[in-house]
Structure 1
Amino acid sequence: MTDVDQLSSSLQRIRLQSSSKLDNQQQVSATLLAIEETLKEQGSTLSPTAYFAALSTLLEQQGGNNSGIIYAVLYLLAVVLPGVPAAVLRAKHTVVLKCLGPIVTEPDTATPTLRAALVCLAVLLRSLDAGAWVEPAIKQALQALLLLAVDPRPKVRKDSLEQVSALLGTSPAASDRPSPPAVLAGRTALQLLKDCARVSEAQMTIRVLALVRHLTPAWTSTTLTPLYRALLALPDVGNTNVGVAVFSTFEHLLARSAAGLDATQSQTVLAHLARIKPAATDAAAVAAWYRCVTQGLIAYTARNPATCLGNLVDMFDSLFEDLQMGERPAVHALVTDALLTLTRECLPHALPHLPGPAGDVPALVQLRDTLVTGTTYRYRDTLDRVFAVQAAAFRALGPHSAPLLDPVLRGVADLRMQTDFTFKTEADTVLRAALSAVGPAHFLEVLPLNLDPVAAARQQGASGDHVGRAWLLPLLKDGLRQAPLAYFVGTLLPLADRLAEVAGDFETKGRDMEAKIYHTLQHQVWALLSAFCRTPAAVPTAFTQEFAERLSDVLYGEPELRPIVCNALQTLVRRLRRGAELGEDDDDDVDEEGKAHDVASDAGVASDNDDSDNEESGRRAGRRGTKSATTHADESPVSPDVARAGIAHLSGFAANYLSVLFNVYSTLPMGGRGFVLDAITTLLEITPVADVQSTFTKVQELMAPELAGLTTPGVENPALTDMALTMLDLTQVMAPYVDLAAFPTFPDQIITLVTLQSHPAAQKKGYKLLYNLLQRARASGPVTPAGVLSEATQA
């Protein structure tokens, strides 16, 4: 609705109130009708300017009498003034202000009349340009508006605060200094604060503080210091309501004021705030205090990143003590929020300015010592909150955590290993954060797994850490971030091999229970492989010929590890392709289940038999133990050059892996081999075209006799049918990557399949293969099945 439409609507509503039962509404309506009749008799247009001229004349005629007609005129003026051009208002502002002055300054003015006058006054003040603010009458009008903003009457006070905020938000201002009304408003509010400090009156102090919060544009670098000094000088901070108002005002100013204090001034303010901390029993005031101090530190560290660390840690230490047992639970919640905010939002500002290694910075050593005390007896009731803060510290410090926070890591792990420990889930959060911050190598150096019983026996009695930590393996799987593949190849793979040897020794001795335990540990170590493939930064050096051969051996000879290896290969290829193309979303790696299935489906692959649900459930079964941890959006993608180098290196192994996977796929039962097909589909993306073409030729040669067997009447050979379906699956995933024109018999095979009603499973795969060809051709224009089959045979 436009301003004109809104004015018309408001005036029409007033006209209809002529028959209202309320006297004041009748008076307003009658006044409007009389003015409109006069304007019509004079031949004037009923425009906002005409209304304004008539109403201002009527207002002058009434003088300062606070009568019903005054209310009606002011009410109508409040309605029409927003639509009057600013130039007209400026021309008449002296006359109108002279009439409004007695009304807004007279303490006995009725509230409805005063509220209408406030709107008129604010509209007039907003219309003025900067030069008009030198006039004493203008300054007096603004001061009157500010005094009404601390008026005892709630509705008057609320209206005045809104009008003050609107005025300061729209008044003209130079880019390097506040506007004239903002300067005047700031001076007036500051004087009111000083008056409150001399005369202790709680309610008046609270109202003045509300005004201060509404004057954010008025506070500059030169006025903030005396303002903070006046706030800190207030004598009634011990009063709960005043204390809440003071701390809320500090919080508001620190968060929103564009002008900041210098480092020394900020330190002075924060130190004084620390000295006036309310008692824990004063819940409202202490909550406001925590918010105030937190916001103060956020502002201070943002403006003084190079010098803030010492003061930040001192305040952190002071707040951390409030987590000790004996404090109220509400205080524990407040201090936890404050500590988390300081750790997440303040600490990172200081890290780029460290004078040396984190372990040599006294402030960070002090922070470490404070965090270590959190695992002592005094904090036993709030360990869950302590752990939350410690985890935040690891995340904030990142690589700076090593070796600085090693004692914290050991302390949390020691508590975690207690059999009756209550907060294991929260402790795991700290350990995952530490693992992400320092990396697996340093993490396992501080907390070695110690899984080799032979090595443990040799070291028995020697000094050192010999505690077994098999419980860390599931945590490693969930918490690894940016873990180098070389570490798995050089450290964890030998450990897995050693665990397999130990399991074999126990099997030889007939100790089946121990053998099962160590086989499980071996599988848990292998299950970490996919996590190490998420950040493939050094594939050419880490993915060696020896390692490639080892994966092939696992695919052939260790069925229980096949899903792990397939999953890892998919993750590695997808991460590399994502880095090389820089066009895919970072959050679609495995949990590979979803996208791998989509890729295979897009290639035309469905079930190995007529029941798609059985096959899909088989895929899930094959992945159940190896599904990688939840997607990590914070994984840093590799650079395009590094990714392309990794793809080039890995593609040299792709053909051999396809051969291995084809053989493995053909030996697995239907319904439980979908994960192998997913891996094949992914590897085809980086396999050289010549190798794919050659492999496809071999598959076609193998499929021809199988199809012939299917079409022979009276022949029912389940083994022949299974092999034909297997070859069809491989054909379907390879078709998108080959030049089908090189295979003139291929269209005939498709026709044979789609007409093979005696074998529904094969017929279904034929239709999917045809659909896949149609999808490929669609980009070139309208297509038909016949056209696609014809083009597939043309060179």
Structure 2
Amino acid sequence: MHNQYPRSVCPRFLKILHFDAYTTTTYLFRINPTSCAAALPKLFHIIFPDLQSHARAIHLPVARCLGKLVLQCISDDMIATAIAAVNAEKKIRTPLHEIIAITENGLGIRYQSAWNEVLVLLQALFKRLHRASSPLLHTTLELMGELRLAPEDTYKERLEAALGVAVANMGPEKFLQVLPLNLESPGTSKAVGRAFLLPLLKDYITNTEMGYFVRELIPLGDRLAQKSQEFAEQGREIEAKIYETLTQQIWSLAPGFCDLPLDLPQAFTKTIAERFSNVLYSQPDLRPVISQGLQALVEKNQALARSDAEDEDLQKAYGLTKAEATRNVQIMSSFAVNYLAVYFNVFSQALPMYRGYILDVIKCYLGITGAKDINTTFKKVLTLLSQSLTNSISAIIDPNTPPPMSHTMMDLAITMVPFLDLESTQHLYTLITSSLLLREDEPTLQKKTYKVLNRMAENEIGRAILLRNINDLQTRLLDAMGTTAPSSKKDRLQTLLNTVKLLPTTDLHLIPSILSEAVVCTKEVNEKARILSYDLLVTMGNKMREGGIVVNSKVDGMDEDMPDGRWNAVWFNCFDEIYVLFFLPYANT
């Protein structure tokens, strides 16, 4: 067909023809899936040979057309029939087997110029067959594995993508049964080492059986680690490094196996939970991947449990229902207290640049820990914080050593604030405001104190504590005005803004007291501090516009017998001060 028309016309003609074939077949699929199943292989026989054309411009339209037919017109019944034929070991050529055979022929030498496009079609086939890719596409995968061993770069990128889609849909266990890694010393000359698959597996493993990782890959990693140690003892550093790298690559697969595993209740036992804890303690290089996996076990299941989709659709897409996802979260919550203890210890040992992701995991597991356990844990944190503040001396922060204990406990306190009850939040407020706001010699602790107050303002219980202590809070903020370290200004401005929002209308004396500070901070070098200072001024204005009383005797510089004033009496005085301090210096520029 493509030889009957000029090359410039052929691609456009094919698009029209293939669009017509696609729309006709998808319509037939909707009204009569059985007839469509019979017609689909015939359509493949007609269109697929176009991939042999020397006019490469038509290859991609052909592959896309066939890919759409695969995704839209291969029915569940077609897949079930093909699987049944395989399981019965009958040599029945079902319609789906015909389509697969035609597509496999595309990996032959006759179609070499279109291999990139054939691989696009294979991606669609793996996606549609999903877990049924095993065993239906075993031969196809073997052919792809042979291509991957060939030193040809023109199709390598597309082949890697197709292999990745195979991993994601077939599952790593079935995939590796067809293309084994063979990382240990091969027993025969036919055993091809495929270490190159490890980065691919890392990127594409998802929503599969965690039991395979526990049962096969962790022991494999242990054996590789043992080999690395043996080589190191023999002074064979190169071999030792190779096996060490392979061990790390095996463990790097953990997050994928933790991404909505189908068998979490069976696979994530106390033994594997303890193994993860031991790795966190003993192998700092593996902490990020283990942490990523542990976080995914909770967050991915929480997201599925909250999904608006129907269980039938979730079961089809992920092999899990909302109830099963909820159960998975409950299982992980049974390990939460122990993991928090592990992560608190690991956090105290970690260098500053490695602490961010650890706090993320801590926050995740605090979210599934019971209130009683959280507050019991927090009491320990508060005790250590109090002790470290008593014994602390001003320290120079060294990024190459863990921060002082006081800094570590403050970071943990900041993270725990949203999960605390009223009593614990009050204890934290009392400790930090009485000890740290005036610590100009400890700018890091001062900055973290303002962060705690800001975190309190973000949740209901925290705001209740701030309101309960609003008079004390205003006094302490005003006392700290002259001792604010430059690095704390941004966080202090945020605290002032949050406090202004909470002020009772019966006493607005804080506003005129901090007006000068807010105005001066509009000239800060730090952009975020400047923006916050303007936000603070606007918030102050809005608060005064709501009405209220200024207790003038509490305003710095006012006489103690100064009568109280309503907002409208002081409004213009406030803006006079803004004009004098801020606008007047620029009046003649």
Letter in 1 for 2:411: D
1:778 shift after superposition: 7.5
Q: Distance in 2 between matches of 1:287 and 1:682?
A: 50
Q: Distance in 2 between matches of 1:353 and 1:776?
A: 52
| 1:495 counterpart residue number | 220
Q: Distance in 2 between matches of 1:416 and 1:721?
A: 48
Q: TM-score, normalised by structure 2?
A: 0.71
| 1:786 counterpart residue number | 469
**Quick one: which of 15, 27, 36 aligns to 1:299?**
27
> Do 1:451 and 1:468's aligned partners in 2 also have CA atoms closer than 8 Å?
yes
Q: Deviations over 1:329-350 (max 9, x none)?
A: 2332442232223222222476
| 2:492 counterpart residue number | none
> Do 1:693 and 1:739's aligned partners in 2 also have CA atoms closer than 8 Å?
yes
| 1:416 counterpart residue number | 148
Q: Deviations over 1:476-508 (max 9, x none)?
A: 122223112222111211111121112112212
Going from structure 1 to structure 2, the CA distance change for 1:747 and 1:788 (only over 3 Å counts) comes to farther
| Structure 2 residue 260 is the aligned partner of structure 1 residue 535 | yes
| 1:736 counterpart residue number | 418
**Quick one: which of 706, 717, 728 aligns to 2:388?**
706
| Structure 2 residue 319 is the aligned partner of structure 1 residue 319 | no
1:472 shift after superposition: 0.9
Letter in 2 for 1:555: L
Going from structure 1 to structure 2, the CA distance change for 1:638 and 1:779 (only over 3 Å counts) comes to farther
**SS of the counterpart of 2:170?**
helix
**Quick one: which of 433, 439, 448 aligns to 2:165?**
433
1:684 shift after superposition: 1.0
Letter in 1 for 2:34: A
| 1:173 counterpart residue number | none
**Quick one: which of 283, 288, 292 aligns to 2:16?**
288
**Quick one: which of 355, 360, 366 aligns to 1:678?**
360
1:381 shift after superposition: 0.9
**Quick one: which of 460, 464, 467 aligns to 1:777?**
460
Q: Distance in 2 between matches of 1:646 and 1:689?
A: 20
Letter in 2 for 1:369: A
**Quick one: which of 20, 28, 38 aligns to 1:310?**
38
Q: Distance in 2 between matches of 1:773 and 1:690?
A: 19
Going from structure 1 to structure 2, the CA distance change for 1:789 and 1:304 (only over 3 Å counts) comes to farther
1:312 shift after superposition: 0.9
| 1:340 counterpart residue number | 67
Going from structure 1 to structure 2, the CA distance change for 1:781 and 1:548 (only over 3 Å counts) comes to closer
> Do 1:535 and 1:635's aligned partners in 2 also have CA atoms closer than 8 Å?
no
1:785 shift after superposition: 7.6
**Quick one: which of 537, 556, 559 aligns to 2:284?**
559
Letter in 1 for 2:170: V
Going from structure 1 to structure 2, the CA distance change for 1:642 and 1:677 (only over 3 Å counts) comes to same
**SS of the counterpart of 2:301?**
helix
Q: Distance in 1 between matches of 2:201 and 2:390?
A: 52
| 2:571 counterpart residue number | none
Q: Distance in 2 between matches of 1:679 and 1:770?
A: 22
1:434 shift after superposition: 1.6
> Do 1:402 and 1:438's aligned partners in 2 also have CA atoms closer than 8 Å?
yes
Q: Deviations over 1:645-702 (max 9, x none)?
A: 2222222222121111111111122232222122111111112222222211111111
> Do 1:506 and 1:514's aligned partners in 2 also have CA atoms closer than 8 Å?
yes
| 1:486 counterpart residue number | 211
1:720 shift after superposition: 11
Q: Distance in 2 between matches of 1:675 and 1:291?
A: 49
1:782 shift after superposition: 11
> Do 1:348 and 1:396's aligned partners in 2 also have CA atoms closer than 8 Å?
no
Letter in 1 for 2:251: W
Q: Distance in 2 between matches of 1:490 and 1:562?
A: 21
Going from structure 1 to structure 2, the CA distance change for 1:664 and 1:583 (only over 3 Å counts) comes to farther
Identity among equivalent positions (%) equals 32
Q: Deviations over 1:205-249 (max 9, x none)?
A: xxxxxxxxxxxxxxxxxxxxxxxxxxxxxxxxxxxxxxxxxxxxx
1:292 shift after superposition: 2.8
| 2:198 counterpart residue number | 473
**SS of the counterpart of 2:4?**
coil
| 1:351 counterpart residue number | 78
Q: Distance in 2 between matches of 1:299 and 1:769?
A: 61
1:302 shift after superposition: 2.6
Q: Distance in 1 between matches of 2:447 and 2:268?
A: 39
1:366 shift after superposition: 1.8
**Quick one: which of 314, 325, 337 aligns to 1:655?**
337
Q: TM-score, normalised by structure 1?
A: 0.54
> Do 1:702 and 1:727's aligned partners in 2 also have CA atoms closer than 8 Å?
yes
Going from structure 1 to structure 2, the CA distance change for 1:304 and 1:644 (only over 3 Å counts) comes to closer
Q: Distance in 1 between matches of 2:358 and 2:80?
A: 50
Letter in 1 for 2:332: L
Q: Distance in 2 between matches of 1:660 and 1:480?
A: 27
Q: Deviations over 1:621-664 (max 9, x none)?
A: xxxxxxxxxxxxx9638433222322222222221211111111
Root mean square deviation of aligned Cα: 2.9
**SS of the counterpart of 1:354?**
helix
Q: Distance in 1 between matches of 2:455 and 2:348?
A: 23
> Do 2:130 and 2:169's aligned partners in 1 also have CA atoms closer than 8 Å?
yes
Q: Distance in 1 between matches of 2:419 and 2:130?
A: 43
Letter in 2 for 1:688: G
> Do 2:50 and 2:62's aligned partners in 1 also have CA atoms closer than 8 Å?
yes
Going from structure 1 to structure 2, the CA distance change for 1:717 and 1:706 (only over 3 Å counts) comes to farther
Q: Deviations over 1:90-128 (max 9, x none)?
A: xxxxxxxxxxxxxxxxxxxxxxxxxxxxxxxxxxxxxxx
Letter in 1 for 2:470: G
| Structure 2 residue 107 is the aligned partner of structure 1 residue 375 | yes
Going from structure 1 to structure 2, the CA distance change for 1:408 and 1:717 (only over 3 Å counts) comes to closer
The size of the alignment, in residue pairs, is: 455
How do 1:153-302 and structure 2 match up within 5 A?
Answer: 279-281=4-6, 283=10, 285-302=13-30
Structure 2 unaligned regions, length at least 5: 87-91, 310-315, 474-589
How do 1:446-461 and structure 2 match up within 5 A?
Answer: 446-453=178-185, 456=186, 459-460=187-188
**Quick one: which of 136, 141, 151 aligns to 1:404?**
136
Which is greater in Rg? Answer: 1
Q: Distance in 2 between matches of 1:788 and 1:387?
A: 70
| Structure 2 residue 432 is the aligned partner of structure 1 residue 750 | yes
| 2:450 counterpart residue number | 767
Letter in 2 for 1:345: Q
With 679-688 and 289-298 compared, the bigger mean Cα shift is at 289-298
Q: Distance in 1 between matches of 2:64 and 2:427?
A: 70
> Do 1:298 and 1:345's aligned partners in 2 also have CA atoms closer than 8 Å?
yes
| 2:532 counterpart residue number | none
1:358 shift after superposition: 5.8
1:740 shift after superposition: 4.1
> Do 1:308 and 1:350's aligned partners in 2 also have CA atoms closer than 8 Å?
no
> Do 1:580 and 1:644's aligned partners in 2 also have CA atoms closer than 8 Å?
yes
| 1:513 counterpart residue number | 238
1:300 shift after superposition: 2.4
Going from structure 1 to structure 2, the CA distance change for 1:787 and 1:320 (only over 3 Å counts) comes to same
> Do 1:706 and 1:721's aligned partners in 2 also have CA atoms closer than 8 Å?
no
Going from structure 1 to structure 2, the CA distance change for 1:286 and 1:639 (only over 3 Å counts) comes to closer
Q: Distance in 1 between matches of 2:463 and 2:442?
A: 33
| Structure 2 residue 57 is the aligned partner of structure 1 residue 330 | yes
How do 1:550-589 and structure 2 match up within 5 A?
Answer: 550-582=275-307
> Do 2:254 and 2:289's aligned partners in 1 also have CA atoms closer than 8 Å?
yes
Letter in 1 for 2:94: P
| 2:120 counterpart residue number | 388
Q: Deviations over 1:289-329 (max 9, x none)?
A: 333333332322332202322321122022111211x4322
